[in-house]
Amino acid sequence: MSRFPSDDVDRLRRRLIKGVPVLGLGFMSCRGKEGIPEAPPQSSVKPVVADPIVLNGDRGRPLPPSSEPGIRVRAARVDGDLVEFGPVGARFWVTAPGRDHRAMHVGPVRFQRLAAGWRVTWSVSGRTSTRVIEGAEPLTLTMADREEVGPEFRGRMLSGTVNLVGGGDSRRRHIDVVCHLSMETYLPGVLAGELFDSWRPATHEALAIAARSFALCERFHWLSRRSHDVVADERSQVWNGGLAPRRSSEAVLRTRGEVLLHRGRVVPGYYSASCGGRPAAAIDAISSNPVNGIAPLSVPDSDRRGVCPCRSFGPHGSWRASFDIRAFNEALASRVDTGSEVPRWPIDVELIEAFESGRPRSFRISSARRGSKPLELRAVDLQRGLNSTATGRPVRSADFEVSVRPDGIRVDGAGFGHGVGLCQYGTEALARLNTPAREILARYYPGAEIRRVW
């Protein structure tokens, strides 16, 4: 079976609203019905039709649990063998479950990973003490004086039990800082990381249900495969840590235990910042795993196309980016095998395949010079190549068209992120029209049922 979404998601993923100072909340007016045509009229454009793999998509999705599960969140990956937790004077319980070790230490506590074990160093009143814990098992760390919230680490308040897990190889070692906490404790920090606090309660509630469903599917997939289920950034979903504003906490509480189901199993509730008015199918934009072929993650039928109000709400409805010849050549070079030829300027860029959604699938880039071989690139690869040559992420989605200019290329596109499932800007626009969370979810995950399962 092919890998679950999150592998690709680990590269592609997620919407990107956040952390997001970038966005600024200016509600620019966008181009309404104009812009990227639904499907280019050229006869050379072949639609790509997904295989009938829908039924297989059930196996990779979990049955809904009947009680609240835990979730393992990788809050940070620290390069090397050393990690330190404070603040000064804080008391930590440090345990090595496999070694039957439990001791209290006063911060700052430093953990050094050894070949097979850990060296723990702490100091009290200027006197430094050290203890070696043998065995390669992960160490766990909890605050002795605070139950809910853990220590602050790299600007994020951790939560739950903090696990230190060594990894990597002899050339490049690392320590993963992984929080183990309950699902409902985790979710407010996701809403805080993914949404503006000023956004409507219905937006927070809809995202709480989608994010809970997504996290359940990640947990199902990774439980026996690695030491964490999700990472705390946009590769999974942003997690701001254990402290969240009231609106986030209230939305999680109001939707406690509610998940998206399809044929009795949980739907991975993908979402992105903005679909640009043209939603993508998960099977096209996330990965070809059969899980992504289910109806709630497919492209809405033509009646629903264009209904997402994000096109005229928020800063990502449409955008434009320009690249000079040198940057464009660098972008192409980054996407071809070493030694392969990159078409030389002047070039022509032609759309050769589109998805059923109307979004571009691949482009052909050919040189006007004789004897030069054309290069075919998937839209998502061209997007990555172009973004690798620029600061920020000027090509915000894989839904774009390319115009060749005398001095380079211009990219005109719509949306931000992969465009699958719930659209955050679209959701907020609907919430401002008093659309309830359940109705919003019905639009973005057609055919999914919402049920409280714990």
Residues that bind Zn ion (CB under 5 A): 275, 308, 310, 423, 426
- The distance of closest approach from Cβ of residue 430 to Zn ion in the complex, given in angstroms and rounded to an integer, is 10
Nearest approach, Cβ of residue 427 and Zn ion (Å): 8
Q: How far is the CB of 314 from Zn ion (least distance, A)?
A: 9
Q: CA 374, CA 122: separation in Å to the nearest integer?
A: 62
The number of residues in the chain equals 454
**Closer by beta carbon to Zn ion, 190 or else 423:** 423
The CA R_g of the chain, rounded to the nearest whole Å, is: 24
Shortest separation between residue 321's beta carbon and Zn ion, angstroms = 20
- Quote the least distance from Cβ 277 to Zn ion, whole Å: 6
Shortest Å distance, C-beta 276 to Zn ion = 6
Assigned token pair, 340: 């392969």
Cβ closest to Zn ion, residue 151 vs residue 300: 300
Angle (nearest 5°) at CA 210 between 215 and 446: 130
The H-assigned helical ranges of 317-370 are: 325-333
End-to-end CA distance of the chain: 30
Name the residue nearer to Zn ion (CB basis): 383 or 389: 383
Smaller CB distance to Zn ion: residue 110 or 359? Answer: 359
Place of tokens 């690695």: 226
The span from the CA of 366 to the CA of 345, in Å, is 9
Measured over the CA atoms of residue 157, residue 161, residue 167 and residue 173, the dihedral's sign is: positive
Peptide bond into 108 cis (omega under 30): yes
CA distance 440 to 426: 9
Would you give the distance in Å from CA 97 to the centre of its chain?
Answer: 32
Q: Nearer to Zn ion by C-beta: 375 or 422? A: 422
Which distant-in-sequence residues (6+ apart) come within 8 Å of 366 by Cβ? 343, 347, 348, 350, 372, 374, 375
Burial code (b: 16+ CB inside 10 Å, e: under 16) for 294-323 equals bebbbbbeeeeebebbbbbbbbbbbbebbb
Q: Vertex 211, ends 174 and 241: CA angle to 5°?
A: 45
Q: How far is the CB of 398 from Zn ion (least distance, A)?
A: 15
Smallest distance, Å, CB 399 to Zn ion? 11
- Can you say whether residue 439 is alpha, beta or left, with left for phi > 0 and alpha for psi between -120 and 50 degrees? alpha
Q: What angle do CA 185, 62, 428 make, to 5 degrees?
A: 55
Specify the residue, 143 or 280, whose C-beta has the smaller distance to Zn ion. Answer: 280
C-beta closer to Zn ion: residue 321 or 423: 423
d(C-alpha 58, C-alpha 265), whole Å: 7
Minimum distance, C-beta of residue 423 to Zn ion, in the bound complex (Å): 3
* Count of CB atoms situated within 10 Å of the CB of 442: 16
* Cβ contact 232:76 at 8 Å: yes
**Of 280 and 409, which has the nearer Cβ to Zn ion?**
280
Minimum separation from the CB atom of position 5 to Zn ion (A): 20
Q: Which two tokens stand for residue 434?
A: 């008093």
Q: Which is nearer to Zn ion, 64 or 277 (CB)?
A: 277
Nearer to Zn ion, 90 or 423 (CB): 423
Furthest-apart CA atoms within the chain: distance in Å: 78
